[in-house]
Amino acid sequence: MYARLWRARRRHHHIDAMLRDTAAGWELMFLRDDRVLLTWTFADRAAAVADADRRLGELVRAGWVRHW
C-alpha cells in the first residue's frame, strides 16, 4: 500500500509523491491528477524521501504550492 508523502497543487491540477516498501526496495511514484507520471526504486527509504523532497522544491520554484 502506498503512503502519500506530499501533494502539490497549481491551476486545478495536483501532483502526488507516493511511497511504498517492496521486495525490491522502496518505490517512489509520482502521479499527476491521479495518473502515473514516473516510478523509481531506491535501496533505502531515506534516499527515496530525499529525492521526493528535492522534486517538491523544484515544483515550488516553478509555481506549485504544497498542499495536503
Q: What is the pLDDT of residues 18-64, one digit of tens each?
A: 999 999 999 999 999 999 999 999 999 999 999 999 999 999 999 99
Q: What is the CA radius of gyration of the chain?
A: 12
CB 27 within 8 A of CB 57: no
Tell me the pTM. 0.91
Query: What is the Cα–Cα distance from 57 to 43, expressed in whole angstroms?
Result: 22
More confident residue, 67 or 9: 9
Residue type, 38: L
